Amino acid sequence: MLLALLSAGLLGVFLSGCTAGASVPPFGVTPTVSVTNAENGSEIGNGRPTVSFDGPLVQRRVVLAVEADADLPALRARLEQRASASHLALTDISPDVLPAGVLEQGVPQLTVLLSAGATRDEARALLASDGPESIDSYFVLSVLVHDLRFVVDSADPTALADAVAREGILSDDLGNYGSAIGANTLEVSYLGALLGDDVVADVRGGMARSAGITADQVRVAAGTPGGAGVDMAAEPEPAAVVIADSDASHGHDGSVSATAATSPGPAVNAWSVYGIGLTVLLIGSVGIMIWTGRRRSAASEIEPEPRDRE
């Protein structure tokens, strides 16, 4: 009984080691990337804040993220040329729009957003002429982005723009943004990761303080009017992502699936671990048998001899 229990325990320990060894491959390993069910409204994202400013202010767009050791300015210029030939527009954007599962592998050196209506196939085609010698891996994903404008009426919009810049609230909350000075208005544009309601409130409050008005007088409008937009209340919660290896030798395209992520760790061949575990199990079993046999021999030496029957 003791031998069976110990053997089962050892087997359980080593078999569990086989499953614990599975891991997400590093960013540099060429994965293929697409978003499972993204076309049907299932979106994965890098954590989703509470977003009330939705509808035409939120867009579903295709993003292209590239990991490369090549000359990035030259690569960016080639992408721009090919996009222009295909009547597409590219916008540099923060990697924050990418799913957390992608960013955990590393931050890509180049991340661009394609114009509204562009498809993932069109994004892949932009890299069709670049081989593995210039690109380590790339990701083509469908993501949700905020495309909006903060508008303030002002008699002196230039002075207001300077005051807003000095306060620093836009740099802190938005990072990259653009500004446009009109005859009697100041517009601040933002295109990037989804902003929570608290961030939008901070931006409106900061601009209002500089303008000497109330926060509700800072209007929030769509950066690209007329788009279908996204109803955030109807969007499912983002799922964790797993990055799968590609079987292709130079496959720079692949699959990010909306499944539970595996704990990171070194890649391990499960059968190798199983073989090592089985060997140790057998050695341990033999040792236990020898130890048990010696105990029995020692016990027989001190047992009283049976009496002779008269």
Nearest to 109 by CA among 56, 59, 71: 71
**Residue written as tokens 């030939």?**
85
C-alpha 297: how far from chain center: 64
Name 271's Cβ contacts closer than 8 Å, sequence gap at least 6. none
To 10 degrees, the CA torsion angle through 185, 191, 192, 196? 40
Q: What is the pTM of this model?
A: 0.64
pLDDT at residue number 282: 65
DSSP state of 263: P
Taking only the tens of pLDDT, the chain with its 310 residues reads 544 444 544 444 444 444 444 333 333 333 434 333 333 333 334 468 899 999 999 999 999 999 887 788 999 999 999 999 999 999 999 999 998 888 888 889 999 999 999 999 999 999 887 766 567 788 999 999 999 999 999 999 999 999 999 989 899 999 999 999 999 999 999 999 999 999 999 999 999 999 999 999 999 999 988 777 999 999 987 766 655 544 333 333 433 433 333 333 344 444 454 566 666 566 666 566 655 555 554 444 433 434 344 4
Per-residue pLDDT at 253: 44
Predicted local confidence at residue 265, as pLDDT: 37
Q: Taking a C-beta distance cutoff of 8 angstroms, is the pair 252, 64 a contact? A: no
Predicted pLDDT of residue 36: 34
Give the number of other Cβ atoms within 10 Å of residue 42's Cβ: 15
